[in-house]
Structure 1
Amino acid sequence: MSTPKVESEKHGELNCWRITSDTAELLVAQQGAQVLSYQRLGEPPVLWLSEQAIFKQGKSVRAGVPVCWPWFGNLKRNPETVQALYHGEEAPAHGLVRGRDWELLGIANEGSAVRVDFSLPHTQGGLPGWPHNVELTLSIVMAEQLRITLTSYNLDNVPVTLSQALHSYFAVSDVREVQVEGVEGLGYIETLANWEQRTQAGALGFAGETDRIYLQVPEQLSIVDPNWNRRTRVTSTGSRSAVIWNPWIERAAELPDMADDGWQRMLCIETANVWDDVVTLAPGASHTLSLSIGSEPL
């Protein structure tokens, strides 16, 4: 196998790197340490990049794997222990790190694999309204699978409580034709029906807008896509919750960075620490949230 190739690119206002191996291609942005796309050569994309994505400084790209941290979603929907750590006036959705440039620590070849390491120095006391001292690093390894690892290390002398997610957008042939396996029998929060707690019956199919928080999730979920004859395996560690989201027709039409029919080609399974699965770091403690993505024929 040849050594993976690394090229610097500019997409709109964002600095990016395209990494190509004998078997796969990865596009990563410095902003948000965000994987924008991932595809095995000769196959459909595994991660989805919106056709109308906006590459603008300070705005998370609708693509790939945004990092939500130190809270997920609407801060007011988070536990009080998470809310109490933020002292700013307005709390942006999904936290404070998606729209910031991370520091690239290095891109290194490891045989036929390649590793990309980032850190975000702002989290060590420099995030507006969040004056806590946490070392935050993210590593991406592209080998037979794609692995993304987010580590939070509390340098403060008081506990810090976080919610977070690796907000993955998966590419699918047609969301109406796919199923998610691994959720059978799980409890979930139905956010579209007054946040009721329900129980999943069977595998999850899609026939309308979906926004659910699954609880006590196993380490592996799968997207079964018969049109592409593909099973995408989503394996997590450091997480007991997952958010599954598709905006469907009306919501997609309201999103400026998604084509009106873009909802058909994407499905979010977000590896998360949310609801009662938040992370409390004692002084000197660390937590690692990781996601591995692999695909295989059905």
Structure 2
Amino acid sequence: MACITQKVHQNGLTYLDIDTEFCQARIFMQGAQIDSFIPKGKAPLLWVSGADEYQPGSGIRGGIPICWPWFGMHENSNWPQHGFARTRIWQLDKIDTQNEVVELTLSLPLSAEDKAYWPHNTRVEAVFRLSHELKVSLINHNLSDDYVSLTQALHTYFPIQDIHRLRATGFSGSHYIEFGEGPYTQETDEVIFDKETDRVYNQLGDEQQLHTPEGIIKVRRENSQSAVLWNPWIEKSQRLSRFNDEDYLTMVCHEAANVLEDKVILAPGSSHSLSTIISWVV
């Protein structure tokens, strides 16, 4: 029988501990951030840096941080990178369980401080569907009479054991920008890693695969024509906070996104759902 328990981390962060017939998972209320998803009988599908101390007010370096309502740096350089949602406390609105498949819905209350960044009348929800695979959906509702635009990403960190042996496939025919240059056309289906990689893809198909020493991870996206592929490599790893110098060897980010020309434009009264679905290939 599915068991969902609210617990408190030793550093004070509240989280939901989930144990079902299909998986084990952990979701923090800060940032609505899932940091652990382990299908029963299989290896973990999410990675977290051993340097992260799970401090209140600081997003976790791993799992799936939610970048909202903007991705990357804001045009106002004093505003937080990747938005403010990943450091705010979300609330649990709903739990549904059917045949050991658990679905949890969290929403983000907007404070007066948040409304200084985001003065729009919207509602954002994070929905987690937990079975043998993990589906995370970020749902935006425009409650106003005006058009609203935003960028966002589900910044997923994957455990890949050895970056030198990782092959990422499913990129043929897409285009990407890297380090502010491009767009470049992806001529081959495969990406390998031998240097810092920070690609923002567009016109990308909705499924890629990460071929790792432990198996193949399937990554699917819904309502997303853009994605980010990232590994900081050696020099940037030494500059990152809450990240060990050699962490780049065992992780890669492949993020479902709505960025650049794929940004979300919400008409009055409309909604949009961005999803990532991850699983081991059997």
TM-score of the alignment, normalized to the shorter chain, above 0.5: yes
Per-residue CA deviation, residues 115-151 of structure 1 (Å, 9 max, x unaligned), is 1110112189953332111011111010121111111
- The answer to whether the 8 A contact 1:17-1:27 is kept is yes
Deviation string for 1:9-30 (max 9, x for gaps)? 2222310112112232111000
CA RMSD of aligned residues (A): 1.7
Separation of aligned partners in 1, 2:207 and 2:72: 23
AA at the equivalent of 2:259? V
1:13 maps onto 2:1 in alignment: no
The one of 147, 152, 168 equivalent to 2:156 is 168
Q: Find 1:143's aligned residue among 115, 131, 147.
A: 131
Give the Cα–Cα distance (whole angstroms) in 2 for the partners of residues 131 and 260 of structure 1.
39
Partner Cα distance (1:49, 1:4) in 2: 25
The answer (yes or no) to whether the contact 1:171–1:265 under 8 Å persists in 2 is yes
Of 192, 200, 207, which residue of structure 1 is paired with 2:186? 200
SS of the residue 2:86 aligns to: coil
Report if the CA contact (8 A) 1:123-1:133 is conserved.
Answer: no
Distance in 1 separating the partners of 2:85 and 2:238: 26
Does the CA-based 8 Å contact 2:40-2:132 persist in structure 1?
no
> Residue type matched to 1:292 in 2?
I
1:217 maps to 2:204: yes
Shift of 1:6: 1.8
Residues 180-259 of structure 1 aligned to structure 2 (within 5 Å): 180-191=168-179, 194-202=180-188, 203-225=190-212, 227-228=213-214, 230-259=215-244
Retained in 2: the 8 A contact 1:59–1:99? Answer: yes
Asked if 1:26 corresponds to 2:25, the answer is yes
* 1:222 shift after superposition: 0.9
Secondary structure of 1:250 counterpart: helix
- Residue 292 of structure 1 corresponds to 277
1:165-185 CA-partner distances (Å, limit 9, x unpaired): 011011111121111111023
**What displacement does 1:252 show?**
1.2
Please state whether the residue corresponding to 1:149 is helix, strand or coil: strand
The aligned amino acid for 1:223 is L
Aligned-partner Cα distance in 1 for 2:44–2:133:
13
Query: Structure 1 109/247 Cα, relative in aligned 2: closer, same or farther at 3 Å?
Result: same
State the AA in 2 paired with 1:260: D
Residues 236, 123 of structure 1: alpha-carbon distance in 2 compared, 3 angstrom cutoff: farther
Aligned to 2:43: 44
Of 158, 168, 175, the residue aligned with 2:146 is 158
Name the residue aligned to 1:62.
Answer: 61
Query: Which AA in structure 2 matches 1:224?
Result: H
Q: Aligned partners of 1:261 and 1:114: how far apart in 2?
A: 35
What is the DSSP-based 3-state SS (H/G/I as helix, E as strand, rest coil) of the residue aligned with 2:261?
helix
Measured at CA, do residues 244 and 89 of structure 1 come closer, stay the same or move farther in structure 2, by a change above 3 Å?
Answer: closer
Note closer, same or farther for the CA distance 1:115–1:124 as it changes in structure 2 (3 Å cut). Answer: farther
How many residues align? The count is 280
Q: Distance in 2 between matches of 1:89 and 1:250?
A: 23
* 2:69 and 2:150 in contact (8 A); partners too: yes
Residues in 1 aligned to 2:77 and 2:157: alpha-carbon distance in whole angstroms:
30
The one-letter code matched in structure 1 to 2:273 is T
Counterpart residue identity of residue 211, structure 2:
V
Query: Helix, strand or coil: the match of 1:152?
Result: strand
Identity in percent: 34
Question: Match of 2:93?
Answer: 105
